[in-house]
Amino acid sequence: MNVNLDSKQDFLTVAKERHAVKRYDRTYRMSEDEIKELLRIASQAPSAWNLQHWHFLVVTDQASKDILLGIANGQQQVVEASATVAILGDLQADRNAESIFEADVQAGRLSPEIKANLILQIQGAYTNKPNWARDQAFSNASLAAMQLMLAAKAMGLDSCPMSGFNPDKLIEAFAIPDRYVPVMLVAIGKAAEPARPSVRLPVEEKIHWNGFGFQV
C-alpha cells in the first residue's frame, strides 16, 4: 500500500488528529519518492530571511535503524517505522543567502540593492550575536519538523517526534558534519496501534492578554 500523495484533508482535522504514535507496522515501507515529497512539503515551512535552516538525515535501512535504536534509548519506533528523519539545524544557514537572494533578483522579485542590504543584515547577525546561529538553527528547523508531521498526517501516515536521543552519538555514528546540529528525530510510518490519548491543559491557562501584568 502506497501513501496517496494527492489526498487532501481539512487542515483543522489534520491538526486535531495528529498525535505521537509509538507503534508502527513494520511491513509498511514508503518509497524514496514518497519520502522526498514529504520533505519537499516540510521544506515549504517559513524561515528567517528564507535561509531554510534545516537538513534531513533519513534513516530507512535496517542496519542504520539498529544503530539508531541505541542512540535513541531503545525507542522501538525508530526500527518499526518506515523511516526516521533526523531533523538537523544548519549552523551556517547564512551561506544560503547568496544563492537564494540571487534567484529572487533574477526572477525580478528583488533588486540588487535590497539583496546586498539583506546579506549585510544576515552577516551582521551571524557575526555579532554569539548564540544567533544555534538559536536560529533550532527554531527554524523545528518549523520544518512540525510541517513534516502535519504533511504526514494529511497523507494518511503517522509520526512521532523524539528528543530523547544522544546527539553526540548521532553525530559520530552518522558522520554528521560540524555545520549541522541535531534538533529532533521524527519517525514516520503506518500506525500499528493508535496513539495514546493525551491531556491538553485548558488554553486559558496558556494565554496572557497584552502582557503578564505588573506587581506593585
- pLDDT at residue 145, rounded to an integer: 98
Average pLDDT over the chain, rounded to an integer: 94
**102 class by beta-carbon count within 10 Å (0-12 exposed, 13-18 middle, 19+ buried):** middle
Residue 37 pLDDT greater than 80, yes or no: yes
Residue 214 pLDDT greater than 70, yes or no: no
Distance (Å, whole) CA 88 – CA 140:
10
Q: Is residue 97 a contact partner of residue 51, using CB atoms and an 8 Å limit?
A: yes
Distance (Å, whole) CA 101 – CA 49:
9
For the record, the C-alpha cell of 102 comes out as 540571487
**176 class by beta-carbon count within 10 Å (0-12 exposed, 13-18 middle, 19+ buried):** middle
- pLDDT at residue 26, rounded to an integer: 96
- pLDDT at residue 134, rounded to an integer: 98
- pLDDT at residue 197, rounded to an integer: 87
Q: 59-95, pLDDT tens digit by residue?
A: 999 999 999 999 999 999 999 999 999 999 999 999 9
Residue 1 pLDDT greater than 50, yes or no: no
Hey, how many other C-beta atoms are within 10 angstroms of the C-beta on 141?
A: 27
- pLDDT at residue 4, rounded to an integer: 53
> What is the distance of C-alpha 185 from the center of its chain?
8
Residue 216 pLDDT greater than 80, yes or no: no
Lowest mean pLDDT among 2-11, 51-60, 159-168, 189-198: 2-11
- pLDDT at residue 213, rounded to an integer: 81
Residue 109 pLDDT greater than 50, yes or no: yes
**Domains of the chain, first to last:** 11-206 (3.40.109.10)
User: 176: closest CA among 46, 4, 57, 53?
Assistant: 57
Beta-bridge mates of residue 186: 85, 161
Q: 177-201, pLDDT tens digit by residue?
A: 999 999 999 999 999 999 988 899 9
Distance (Å, whole) CA 7 – CA 74:
33
Average pLDDT of 164-168? Answer: 98
Distance (Å, whole) CA 176 – CA 24:
27
User: 90: closest CA among 175, 180, 184?
Assistant: 180
